[in-house]
C-alpha cells in the first residue's frame, strides 16, 4: 500500500520525512554531532576556553563556528574572497587563528601555514583540525592528509616551534568503517569514543608563535 501526498498539500514529502527522522532521532538517541567530531570538538573547545577569550582578537578561516565565543574581536575570512595560500591578511594581526577542516582543501598547505604564522601576533596561537582516515570530500578540492607526526612537522615548517606545539588525534576502526559512505551522527549508546591511535580519523593541533 502506498500513500500519495497531494502537491498542493501543506505536508510535502520532504516535511513528512523530516518529521519521521526527528522522531527516529529521539527514539534512538541520535545527536546532531557527527561521530568523527565528538572528541575533536570537545578537546579544541576545552583548549580555547582555557585562554583569556575576552582579551583575544580572533580570525577564523573559512567558517563562523567560533563567532559567538566571546572574543574581543572576531573576523571570518572565507574562500574565495580570502585564499590563505596567497598570503596573510595584511591589515590585521591576531591573537588566535582557527582553521577547522581547511588545510586538506588547500593546494599549498605549507604556504598556508606560513601565512597563518605571519598574521599571528607574537605569542599567538594557531588552532587547526584536519581529517585523516576519512574519504575524499572536494570542497572544492581535497588534497592532503596528515598523521599526528606529519601535522606537527607541517606546523614546524611553517615556523611554529615543535616544542611549543600540542598535537591530538582520535579515531577507531568502527568509526572508520561507519563513515565510508555517509557522515554518521553520534549515537552515544552505540558509538564508542574509545581511541585507537593506529586508526586516527581526525587530527588537531595547537601551535604557539614565539614571543
What distances in angstroms separate CA 209 from CA 43, 96, 119, 162, one per listed residue? 20, 10, 10, 10
Distance CA 30, CA 204 (A): 25
What's the pLDDT band for 30 if we cut at 50, 70, 90?
confident
pLDDT, position 13: 46
Of the candidates 81, 140, 77, 147, the residue with the CA atom closest to the CA atom of residue 106: 140
Question: What confidence tens digit (pLDDT) does each residue in 44-78 have?
Answer: 999 999 999 999 999 999 999 999 999 999 999 99
My answer on whether omega of the bond before 140 falls inside 30° of 0, hence cis, is yes
Q: Kindly report the CATH number that applies to the domain delimited by 32-208.
A: 3.40.50.150
Question: Sign of the CA dihedral 193, 148, 59, 104?
Answer: negative
Distance CA 37, CA 191 (A): 12
Tell me the average pLDDT across 14-28.
Answer: 54
What are the structural domain ranges in the chain? Answer: 32-208
What's the pLDDT band for 29 if we cut at 50, 70, 90?
confident
Whether the per-residue pLDDT at 5 is higher than 50: the answer is: no
Q: Choose the weakest-confidence range: 4-8, 36-40, 184-188, 202-206.
A: 4-8
| pTM for this prediction | 0.87
Residue-averaged pLDDT of the chain: 91
Whether the per-residue pLDDT at 17 is higher than 60: the answer is: no
pLDDT, position 2: 44
Distance CA 137, CA 170 (A): 19
Of the candidates 199, 133, 129, the residue with the CA atom closest to the CA atom of residue 167: 129
Whether the per-residue pLDDT at 203 is higher than 90: the answer is: yes
Cβ(84)–Cβ(128) below 8 Å: no
Tell me the average pLDDT across 195-206.
Answer: 98
B/e letters for 51-76, b = 16+ CB within 10 Å, e = fewer, are bebeebbbbbbbeeebeebebeebbb
Distance CA 80, CA 64 (A): 15
Amino acid at each position: 500500500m502506498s500513500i500519495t501526498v497531494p502537491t498542493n498539500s501543506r505536508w510535502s514529502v520532504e516535511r513528512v520525512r523530516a518529521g519521521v527522522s526527528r522522531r527516529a532521532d529521539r527514539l534512538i538517541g541520535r545527536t546532531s554531532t557527527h561521530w568523527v567530531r565528538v572528541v575533536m570538538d570537545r578537546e579544541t573547545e576545552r583548549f580555547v576556553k582555557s585562554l583569556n577569550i575576552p582579551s583575544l582578537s580572533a580570525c577564523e578561516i573559512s567558517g563562523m563556528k567560533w563567532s559567538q565565543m566571546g572574543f574581543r574581536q572576531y573576523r571570518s575570512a572565507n574562500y574565495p574572497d580570502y585564499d590563505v595560500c596567497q598570503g596573510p591578511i595584511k591589515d590585521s594581526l591576531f591573537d588566535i587563528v582557527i582553521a577547522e577542516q581547511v588545510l586538506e582543501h588547500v593546494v599549498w598547505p605549507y604556504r598556508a601555514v606560513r601565512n597563518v604564522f605571519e598574521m599571528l601576533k607574537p605569542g599567538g596561537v594557531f588552532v587547526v583540525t584536519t581529517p585523516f582516515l576519512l574519504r575524499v570530500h572536494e570542497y572544492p578540492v581535497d588534497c592532503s592528509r596528515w598523521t599526528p607526526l606529519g601535522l606537527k612537522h607541517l606546523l614546524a615548517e611553517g615556523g611554529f616551534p615543535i616544542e611549543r606545539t600540542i598535537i591530538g588525534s582520535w579515531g577507531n576502526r568502527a568509526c572508520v568503517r561507519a563513515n565510508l559512505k555517509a557522515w554518521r551522527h553520534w549515537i552515544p549508546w552505540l558509538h564508542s569514543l574509545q581511541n585507537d591511535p593506529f586508526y586516527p580519523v581526525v587530527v588537531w593541533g595547537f601551535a604557539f608563535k614565539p614571543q
